Structure 1
């Protein structure tokens, strides 16, 4: 469950956060949906958005919110790891029709349909149709631009460059093929060649697929990129289907 409400505590009265959540539940109960809430579990990554996560300490609103969820007749569960990853798996295996979150990493985890603000619905098919971005491309954008598990990505690489690399080169598809088809030892060897190709694309831009050359970004691609831990968090997150 993502924190989406911010209130002025001085003027909001007692328990302003829970009252805000109560209002959200009140909106949901009037809709033709069956809400199911998922909370982060104990095996979520230790670091998220550059901060250490207290994995055994629930959010202070959790108990009160769970009581409200049950009072409305809704259901909830604790994910093995990341809530977004669990929801993505539930969506993939048609346990739920859509995922409601403000976290765009949900698509990297494999979410097929995402709902925002009760009126905005995003489907992976529509995104692919409009942008041409495959799941492999979305993963590469997250690695280059940075995300929940690596807030920096490649230094100097903005979203425009990340999009150009993911959509106008074969780097995303090659990385995806290596992840799906090779053992760890072979993957490490193949990744070395992939890094060299990545550096060459950025520094030379021989095919003219980028708007300009980016030698400084190329120099930031170390032998530790992409992080195996970050890749594992996106590609093999802990879910009920793991």
Structure 2
């Protein structure tokens, strides 16, 4: 949720579509509740435990395909205001009268849904087995994600709650489309400040006016457009103080220190700024004076009438311009006073507890520094856990884990080269080729299974279990499977080989000699290919080269039909006369154009 009033639509023009390497070697905080809710909404009822399935695959993709270091954040105890707002949202969605909503005791929070809490606990257990760090927030998960981003601990947040900007987030990734050329839709606070002129305090003020997760109502009669225009009347340092002044009803203070009483008295006593204008031509002066002395704007002479003004004519003299600006100023002041009156009618506005919550810098559950360590997956316990929860085959789980394991292996080899094997079974063999997927290049790596591990049945590829055909379209932001590329396995001359897609830079850092060898072999093959083509062209006779050249040319559409038409005509004449030199018989002019065309091409 976050800020009400279709707040994301306001930010949509400033969204960036980022490519594969956007999160490469970067830390990113993930709002786990957002993932779980999104998964449940998209494919609930079509697969077993969707929260576990897609958390497993999406984490592997985020870690291996995109090279990120994810940090997962879970919600803590919701604030009393959030609990009351959540209950009100449920009543509203159910069509129940809000007047029957029970009033919660002051300072008392309501625990979250038990089923949802269970899903979160299962996902946390899965993530810990994968070796991912998991943090618990004091209240809202997006608040801790934003704090980590603001303090520079992480480079971005993955959440759909727009109030993360109010907590201080600098970069939010709202949408992930794993199988896409540009998989990330991101929003940067710098773009919002430059495009809309809104800072963090302005965004907090907008949320107070239109509603948020802690106060669904906001101010009656104020929408997102009105709130945007109003908060931009004040600077970042004064906007919240001005809201307090207006809410207390001290005075309807607006720009220029003008309130309603001053404005009313100024209207009565202020002199008229617009001079008289001719009713005939519309220019400064009177009709009588223009007839007597001429009109300098129309160019008329004395004793002659000036030009008749056109329909919709508007004078652009200095007097009219000043009058227009004055009317515009008064209109804006009246509008501001009207907004201030609406705000003053609200009780206890603005809510200081909500403001302090957004401006707080302590969203950790504990005062200790957060643990930000990525460990190796506990493979055997992970296999047992997913076999129990998802009813998957162990070999299927190990196979889907390989992209993550190979990424960890390459990172370890880049930092401290060792003689260890991938998953304790495979050794780096060679680079097969360069693969392009969604516009991004990967190395296809060939791994060879060690001799002492050939008896292990790990390389068996079972059919994927527990996939149901879906008859409806899921949410477009969800890739139903979001599975990593399945490693290919083959057996050649009694040896088992495994191929995976790996990041080119990561492979270059881990095995620079192998990359250099691959590039040299690739360049040698290209040279041989060019040399063979040039030798074939030089050995051919001029006739052959001419014919081969002519065959390689692609005719234009007009040339193609012209050549086809001549061939068809010659063939028809041969059939009619028995030889190729017969005189062409002109088609009858009495036939229609479509019939003549068919005769030519049949």
Does the pair score TM above 0.5?
yes
Q: Secondary structure at the match of 1:13?
A: coil
Q: What SS does structure 2 have at the residue aligned with 1:51?
A: helix
Superposed, 1:38-53 pairs within 5 Å as: 38-42=73-77, 44-48=78-82, 50-52=85-87
Structure 2 counterpart of 1:192: 248
Corresponding position of 2:59: 25
Instruction: Report the Cα distance in structure 2 between the residues aligned to 1:67 and 1:115, rounded to whole angstroms.
Output: 24
Per the alignment, residue 183 of structure 1 pairs with none
Give the structure 1 partner of residue 342 of structure 2: 219
Q: Which residue of 2 aligns with 1:239?
A: 363
Q: Distance in 1 between matches of 2:339 and 2:239?
A: 22
SS in 2 for 1:81: coil
Determine if contact 1:82/1:238 at 8 Å carries over to the other structure: no
Is the CA contact (8 Å cut-off) linking 1:149 and 1:230 kept in structure 2? yes
Greater shift after overlay, 209-218 or 71-80?
Answer: 209-218
1:113-157 CA-to-partner distances (Å, cap 9, x unmatched) read 111213112111111011111111111111001111111100121
Q: Does 1 or 2 have the higher relative contact order (CA < 8 Å, sep 6+)?
A: 1
List aligned pairs for 1:174-213, cutoff 5 A.
174-176=238-240, 178=241, 192=248, 196-197=252-253, 208-209=331-332, 212=335
In 2 relative to 1, CA 7–115 (structure 1 residues): closer, same or farther, beyond 3 Å? closer
- C-alpha distance in 2 between matches for 1:72 and 1:24: 12
Deviates more, 1:188-197 or 1:114-123: 188-197
Residues 68, 209 of structure 1: alpha-carbon distance in 2 compared, 3 angstrom cutoff = farther
Using the size of structure 2 for normalisation, the TM-score is: 0.34
Aligned match for 1:228, one of 352, 369, 383: 352
Match of 1:127 in 2: 192
Match among 215, 219, 222 for residue 154 of structure 1: 219
Partner of 1:36: 71
Render the CA deviation track for 1:27-83: whole Å, top value 9, x for unaligned. Answer: 3122111000111123x3123271256347672211110122123322111112221
1:117 aligns to what SS in structure 2?
strand
1:188 positional shift: 7.0
Give the Cα separation in 2 of the matches to 1:106 and 1:223: 26
**Aligned pair 1:67/2:110, yes or no?**
no
Question: For residues 9 and 126 of structure 1, do their structure 2 counterparts lie closer, same or farther at Cα, with a shift above 3 Å needed?
Answer: closer
Do 2:149 and 2:156's aligned partners in 1 also have CA atoms closer than 8 Å? yes
The answer to whether the 8 A contact 1:91-1:97 is kept is: yes
Structure 2 unaligned blocks of 5 or more: 1-31, 88-108, 177-183, 264-327, 368-602
Alpha-carbon contact 1:101-1:114 (below 8 Å) kept: yes
Q: For the residues of structure 2 that align with 1:69 and 1:121, how far apart are their CA atoms?
A: 24
Contact kept in structure 1, 2:157 and 2:172, CA below 8 Å: yes
Contact 1:89 1:239 (C-alpha < 8 Å) held by counterparts: yes
- How far apart, in 1, do the equivalents of 2:60 and 2:258 lie? 52
Unaligned 5+ segments in structure 1 are 180-186
Equivalent residue of 1:109, what SS? coil
| Structure 1 residue runs of 4 or more that deviate by more than 3 Å after TM superposition | 7-10, 52-58, 187-191, 193-196, 200-217
Kept in 1, the 8 Å contact 2:230–2:336? The answer is no
Deviations 1:172-201 (A, max 9, x none): 64144x49xxxxxxx977963677337x99
Change (3 A) 1:220 1:193: closer
Q: Distance in 1 between matches of 2:227 and 2:188?
A: 21
1:54 aligns with 2:85: no
- Within 2, Cα distance between the matches of 1:33 and 1:202? 54
2:154 maps to what in 1? 96
Question: C-alpha deviations, 1:64-117, integer Å up to 9, x for none?
Answer: 101221233221111122211111111111111111100110001111111121
Q: CA deviation at 1:238?
A: 4.1
- Please give the TM-score of this superposition, normalised by the length of structure 1: 0.79
Contact 1:36 1:74 in 2 (8 A): yes
Aligned counterparts of 1:20 and 1:139: Cα–Cα separation in 2 = 33
1:126-145 paired onto structure 2 within 5 Å: 126-145=191-210
| Count of equivalent residues | 230
